[in-house]
Amino acid sequence: MNRVDTRDLARRLRGHALRMTHRARASHVGSCLSMADVLAVLYGAVLRFDPARPDWSERDRLVISKGHAAAIVYAALAETGFLPIEELGTYSADGGRLAGHVTKTVPGVELSTGSLGHGLPVAAGMALAAKRADAGCRAICILSDGELDEGSNWEAIQFAQHFRLSNLVAIVDYNKIQSFGSVAEVSELHPLADKFRAFNWGVHEIDGHDHAELEAVLTAPPPLPGRPTAVVAHTIKGKGVSFMEGLLAWHYKNPDAAQLEAALAELEAGR
Ligand SMILES: Cc1ncc(C[n+]2csc(CCOP(=O)(O)OP(=O)(O)O)c2C)c(N)n1
Ligand SMILES: [Mg+2]
């Protein structure tokens, strides 16, 4: 994998997600922008993959458990050579393969997701299989914070430490907002890092928009040797577009033409 400028990649991913949700009149643009930096660092500097061989047995397995953020996941796959960039114009369109939630028939996607709470259990199974095969690859799962309301996650968190899945990484996109309210209102998670620690996970707690921090923790050995790793990534829903940041409404709303233009101008100005 060639080293890329991850900030530039993140900016392109944000631009794609804005255009895609505008064109498709689709929801979840705030969810996409929240994880743009995490995805850019993963694909630009961390993951082991080969777009010419999506099924390469030694690839790292990236499971996107917050499958509603599909637009930016497809954007990342297009920017890294799994899909033609032009295909992003078919996002959520009839007859296309880029469905509104992450779908496994798209090259580079490991698991269809959208029903929250399934990604981490499957990623734990992938990590266990890789460990038993001595394959040397990792399973990395991106979860949303609201998704941790699902009990299946906590079963997987317990399972993963028991089987000493040191090749498993859970990245929590901790933007403090879910679909009908803040995390604090719906089901408070604080102190989230301590919860993982209590389950015998090693934990990094970082700014999920800081590329240097992201790259450092995602390339480091497990902080708790022999155990899985949680990256509690503090983020801002809608990050990168001033009038979307931290606002619940952009979980559902899509940008109209004027808002798209304003958002793209902000991204351009931020270069
Ligand atoms: C099992 C399940 N219940 C409900 C939903 C509907 N739903 C879609 S996104 C979402 C929550 C969004 O908030 P969060 O999980 O924090 O994700 P974010 O967009 O903030 O990253 C919900 C409840 C779902 N997709 N799956
Ligand atoms: Mg959230």
Tens of pLDDT, residues 222-243: 999 999 999 999 999 999 999 9
Q: How far apart are the CA of 67 and the centre of ligand 1, in A?
A: 9
- Ligand 1 centroid to residue 114 C-alpha, Å: 8
- Stretch 120-142: mean pLDDT: 97
Q: Return the residue whose CA atom lies nearest to atom 25 of ligand 1.
A: 115
pLDDT at 2 over 70: no
CB 62 within 8 A of CB 268: no
- Report d(CA 204, CA 217) in Å as an integer: 7
Q: Contact, 149 vs 96, CB < 8 A?
A: no
Q: What is the DSSP letter of 220?
A: S
Q: Give every CB contact of residue 159 below 8 A, 6+ residues apart in sequence.
A: 121, 124
Pocket test for ligand 1, best of 179, 236, 244 (most atoms within 8 A of CB): 179
Indicate the pTM of the whole model.
0.98
Tell whether ligand 1 has an atom less than 6 A from the beta carbon of residue 200. no
Which ligand has an atom closest to residue 174 CA?
A: 2
Ligand 1 mutation pick, 28, 32, 66, max ligand atoms within 8 A of CB: 66
Is 116 a pocket residue for ligand 1 (Cβ < 6 Å)? yes
- Could you tell me the distance, in angstroms and rounded to a whole number, from the CA of residue 192 to the centre of ligand 2? 13
Q: What is the pLDDT, as a whole number, of residue 1?
A: 46
pLDDT value of position 271:
75
Spacing, Cα 174 to ligand 1 middle (Å): 13
Sort strands 61-64 and 229-234 into parallel, antiparallel or unpaired.
Answer: unpaired
Measured from the alpha carbon of residue 251, the closest ligand is: 1
Distance 52 CA to ligand 2 centre (A): 33
Please tell me the distance between residue 175's alpha carbon and the centre of ligand 2 in angstroms.
Answer: 5
CB of 208 shorter than 6 A to ligand 1: no
List Cα–Cα distances, 155 to 78, 118, 121, in angstroms.
34, 11, 8
State the average pLDDT over residues 177-192.
97
Is 78:58 a contact under the CB 8 Å cutoff? Answer: no
**E strands of the chain, at which residues?**
61-64, 139-144, 168-174, 202-207, 229-234
214-219-222 Cα angle (round to 5): 105
Cα distances from 93 to residues 26, 83, 100, 106, in angstroms, run 10, 16, 9, 14
Q: Which residue has the higher pLDDT, 2 or 25?
A: 25
The pLDDT, as a whole number, for residue 169 is 99
